[in-house]
């Protein structure tokens, strides 16, 4: 499993617009010095044989590189402006939490890096051109100018790609698909087991907890406020094993932690000291926003946000909300087939060391359906699709607890429809979908007997 701290650093770099362009700019600098060294050595290789090398004079070389540099920096400014507009559109029309997906878009980063790299390369080569009237020996870097022309041609291709890419990434179907892909990747990463959950594995082994845990445990306070992005389980187990402790985590990734609140309960409590508190706090990674590194609920929240914006009175786009529900049903169906890890973590000697705060299928279905159900009561098509999604997810469940969670949502939807002022026929349509859910549940129970 990837170290969470390394994952945090990589996530920060991957979500920035400076890292990849900076790397590409450094590569352009290295390329410029390499090509200039070949020019000074007089090594033209097959370029001269094939007739691809630049053969003009000093004035022509300067004009070519100046034109390329000037036009490329103008195009880079335009591309950056378009990117900012796309970010504003995503924040206002879809969800502010979708900005992470746009910031992580490698295509935009590569486009910006290509333009900046070409500009830097041309400047570095341009400064070395010397004509007959200069104080130094005449020097025309023919290979370097030729490579500059090739970079200009490549930049034109990148510009065409950017126009297509920019018009694609702002489409709502693409944005929903990106959030859905993040959800499936998070499920694969955090719940790798592909077999159905058994009750013996998913149940809580309360007998493993010391009998006097609640009386003798002492809390370790959080030293900072922010969203808990990741927890280094291995580091916590090493700390607990070394000091012969049992640690009960009071929060999980995705939750907001207030400075001074209980972060961990430590047993036995007399072992708590300043050094131990510092070590435990270092195993918790906080940030200004939620990420999907260890938070499988975050992509669900992104899809729900898009759905809620779609059914708001100002937009009134139930079709988009239905598409989000379809993606949520696919994600929860995927999750229903996975093994949710036990909250109990043991060391190499089989001793209980850490009690985590786990995700549950019921909690994730609440995150997926509650707000859409509450704010979509007047949208019959949305409510019907919710019931259809529940019926689909039921077919993938493997235990009665998961089915009970889905049935609870179906019952709340049915009760809301009975109490609302919908048309009689609309209520009948909802009731029919509800009966389908009950029938699918019964068939699932019968098939497992």
Contact by Cβ (8 Å): 107, 168: no
Number of domains in the chain: 3
Domain match, 365 and 407 both: yes
Short-list 364, 409, 363, 375, CA closest to 390: 409
Domain match, 120 and 245 both: no
Domain match, 213 and 258 both: yes
What's phi and psi for 287, nearest 5 deg? Answer: -155, 180
Distance CA 28, CA 416 (A): 62
Note the pLDDT of residue 13: 85
The answer to the question of residue 24 being in a domain is yes
Domain match, 90 and 27 both: yes
pTM for this prediction: 0.86
Domain match, 46 and 116 both: yes
Q: Which residue range forms the structural domain that includes residue 404? A: 297-340+359-447
Note the pLDDT of residue 81: 86
Domain match, 106 and 240 both: no
Residues contacting 333, CB < 8 A, separation 6+: 392, 393, 395, 396
Note the pLDDT of residue 387: 96
Domain match, 31 and 77 both: yes
Note the pLDDT of residue 198: 39
Short-list 12, 166, 183, 23, CA closest to 104: 12
The answer to the question of residue 353 being in a domain is no
Flag residues of the chain having pLDDT under 50: 195-204, 207
Note the pLDDT of residue 324: 96
Note the pLDDT of residue 305: 93
Distance CA 395, CA 407 (A): 12
């Amino acid at each position: 499993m990837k170290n969470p701290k390394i994952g945090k650093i990589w996530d920060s770099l991957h979500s920035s617009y400076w890292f990849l362009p900076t790397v590409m700019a450094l590569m352009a600098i290295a390329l410029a010095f390499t090509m200039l060294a070949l020019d000074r050595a007089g090594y033209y290789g097959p370029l001269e044989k094939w007739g691809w090398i630049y053969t003009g004079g000093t004035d022509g070389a300067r004009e070519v590189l100046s034109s390329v540099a000037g036009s490329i920096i103008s195009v880079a400014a335009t591309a950056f402006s378009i990117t900012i507009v796309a970010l504003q559109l995503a924040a206002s029309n879809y969800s502010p939490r979708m900005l992470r997906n746009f910031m992580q878009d490698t295509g935009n980063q590569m486009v910006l890096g290509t333009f900046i790299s070409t500009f830097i390369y041309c400047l570095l080569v341009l400064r070395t051109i010397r004509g007959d009237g200069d104080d130094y020996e005449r020097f025309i870097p023919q290979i370097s100018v030729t490579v500059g022309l090739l970079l200009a041609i490549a930049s034109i291709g990148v510009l065409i790609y950017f126009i297509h890419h920019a018009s694609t990434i702002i489409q709502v179907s693409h944005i929903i698909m990106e959030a859905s892909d993040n959800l499936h990747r998070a499920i694969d990463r955090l719940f790798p087991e592909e077999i159905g959950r058994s009750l013996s594995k998913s149940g809580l082994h309360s007998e493993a907890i010391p009998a006097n845990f609640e009386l003798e445990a002492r809390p370790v306070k959080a030293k900072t406020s922010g969203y808990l992005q990741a927890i280094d389980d291995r580091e916590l187990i090493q700390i607990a094993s070394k000091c012969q402790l049992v640690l009960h985590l009071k929060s999980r990734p995705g939750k907001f932690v207030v400075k001074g609140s209980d972060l961990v309960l430590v047993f036995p409590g007399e072992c708590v000291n300043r050094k131990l508190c510092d070590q435990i706090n270092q195993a918790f990674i906080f940030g200004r926003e939620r990420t999907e590194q260890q938070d499988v609920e975050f992509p669900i929240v992104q899809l729900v946000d898009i759905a809620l914006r779609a059914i708001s009175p100002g937009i009134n786009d139930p079709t988009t909300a239905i598409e989000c529900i379809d993606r949520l049903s696919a994600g929860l169906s995927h999750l229903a087939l996975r093994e949710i890890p036990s909250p109990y973590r043991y060391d190499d000697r089989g001793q209980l060391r850490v009690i985590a705060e786990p995700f549950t299928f019921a909690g994730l279905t609440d995150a997926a359906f509650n707000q859409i159900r509450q704010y979509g009561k007047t949208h019959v098509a949305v409510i019907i699709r919710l019931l259809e999604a529940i019926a689909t997810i039921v077919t993938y469940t493997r235990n009665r607890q998961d089915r009970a969670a889905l049935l609870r949502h179906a019952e709340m939807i049915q009760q809301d429809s009975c109490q609302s002022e919908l048309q009689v026929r609309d209520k009948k349509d909802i009731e029919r979908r509800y009966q389908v859910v009950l029938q699918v549940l019964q068939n699932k129970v019968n098939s497992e007997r």
